[in-house]
Structure 1
Amino acid sequence: MAEVKNNIVTQGVSGKLGDMIVFRQVHGRTIIAAKPKQSEKKSEKQVEHQKRFQSAVIYGKAATADPAKKAEYEAGKGDKYNSAYQVAVADFLNAPDIQEVNLKGYKGNVGDVITIRVTDDFKVAEVTVAIRNPDGTLLEKGNAVQQPGGADWCYKATALCWRPNHHYGLRPARQRNRREFPPVGSSLG
């Protein structure tokens, strides 16, 4: 891969030249590279990734079409991303990270508190907690409240749990695009 500097002939050029060379524009610079080789048949994982990326592109276009969301994503521009669209696509592709589910304050009583620490490369818009019985039926579900400092979210239980010593599946966190994340199993004992 080579970078072209101060060349009036190739400045702003993008595309391929024959079957060997590709010109790209990256952050206002012209990059020349060998044409990438693509396999004839895509693996299942590649197809899945393409579908996920396609969803991210659709989300990015929709988010930047909304003036309020676009302004939010504009604020996220920096060295890595130079447009609100790129920030929105990256936000979709990078799910929030559930770093900790603290059940010390939850004993199965109404008003008990579950604390969830969730981080994201852009923003965690909401954290939804679902508490399920051992058989998978929903006991209760609701939104946690973000605490000062930003990474911790607290959920106050609204239902009495008659069997607090059993394992429950907790589903904390939804990102702004409302993708759900897998349950985190935790012991309440």
Structure 2
Amino acid sequence: MAESKNNIVTHGLSGKVGDLLVFSQRNGKTVVSKAPKDRTGELSDKQKAHKLKFQKAVLYAKGVLNDPLKKELYEAKADNSIGMSTYNVAVADLLNAPDIEEINLSGYEGNPGDVIKITATDDFGVVAVTVKIENADGSLVEEGSAVNNGAEWIYTTTASNPDLAGDKITVQATDNPANLTEETKIL
């Protein structure tokens, strides 16, 4: 890929030249690249899934640009000096689900008021974390939303749970485009 800076011949040029070159504009610069080849053959299932996810990301980003509140949030994260537009940030947000980095159960002993700490991150931001506690037999002990204290998410238990052996604690983290990540720990 070549870049043309302050060239009066190629300034503002965009489009395809034959089957050889493609001219495009990025951040006020004319970029010249090799023309893409036509695809032959069927897409694999993995390629189809990736294509569908990217299509959803494009639709999400277009929706963000049409929603003034969401657009303002994404604009704050955009950096046009390196080619990262509001649109690019929104596409990337949909393509990247949150990460649950840690579930700290050291403060959970089965008593009301015990604390479970969750470290969850996202390229743009985690908007919600939920916790579900089930007994070994699958019966629900409790579930609810954790509270963000800035550094981590805190879930304060409300139910008594005297027998912790084999209990399952499931944590879900969600971001703006509703990507969901789930992690489970067994006591």
Given the two structures, how large is their TM-score scaled by the length of structure 1? 0.86
Counterpart for residue 62 of structure 1 = 63
- 1:52 Cα offset (Å): 0.7
Mean alpha-carbon deviation: is it higher for 133-142 or for 102-111? Answer: 133-142
Q: Which deviations, in whole Å up to 9, do the C-alpha atoms of 1:98-143 show, x marking residues without a partner?
A: 1111011112222211100112222222212223344555443221
Counterpart for residue 110 of structure 2 = 108
Q: Are the counterparts in 1 of residues 102 and 119 from structure 2 also a CA contact under 8 Å?
A: yes
Mean alpha-carbon deviation: is it higher for 114-123 or for 163-172? Answer: 163-172
Counterpart for residue 117 of structure 1 = 119
Partners of 1:81 and 1:142 in 2: CA distance: 40
Question: Which of structure 1's runs of 4+ aligned residues deviate more than 4 A?
Answer: 135-138
- 1:167 Cα offset (Å): 4.2
Equivalent residues in 2 for 1:11-22, closer than 5 Å = 11-22=11-22
Structure 1 counterpart of 2:180, one-letter code: E
Structure 2 counterpart of 1:163, one-letter code: D
Equivalent residues in 2 for 1:1-189, closer than 5 Å = 1-40=1-40, 41-78=42-79, 79-136=81-138, 138-147=140-149, 150-182=150-182, 184-188=183-187
Superposition RMSD on alpha carbons, in Å?
2.1
Instruction: Looking at secondary structure, tell me which structure has more strand per residue.
Output: 2
Q: Which deviations, in whole Å up to 9, do the C-alpha atoms of 1:39-93 show, x marking residues without a partner?
A: 3222211111111111111211222222111111111112455432222221111
Structure 1 counterpart of 2:16, one-letter code: K
Q: Are the counterparts in 2 of residues 173 and 180 from structure 1 also a CA contact under 8 Å?
A: yes
Q: Which deviations, in whole Å up to 9, do the C-alpha atoms of 1:125-171 show, x marking residues without a partner?
A: 22122233445554432211111xx2311011223335312141412
Q: Are the counterparts in 2 of residues 110 and 157 from structure 1 also a CA contact under 8 Å?
A: yes
Aligned residue pairs total 185
Distance change (3 Å), C-alpha of 1:177 and 1:140:
farther
Partners of 1:47 and 1:161 in 2: CA distance: 45
Mean alpha-carbon deviation: is it higher for 172-181 or for 97-106? Answer: 172-181
Structure 2 counterpart of 1:37, one-letter code: K
Structure 2 counterpart of 1:6, one-letter code: N
Distance change (3 Å), C-alpha of 1:36 and 1:185:
same
Identity in percent? 48
Partners of 1:177 and 1:133 in 2: CA distance: 31
Partners of 1:172 and 1:5 in 2: CA distance: 48
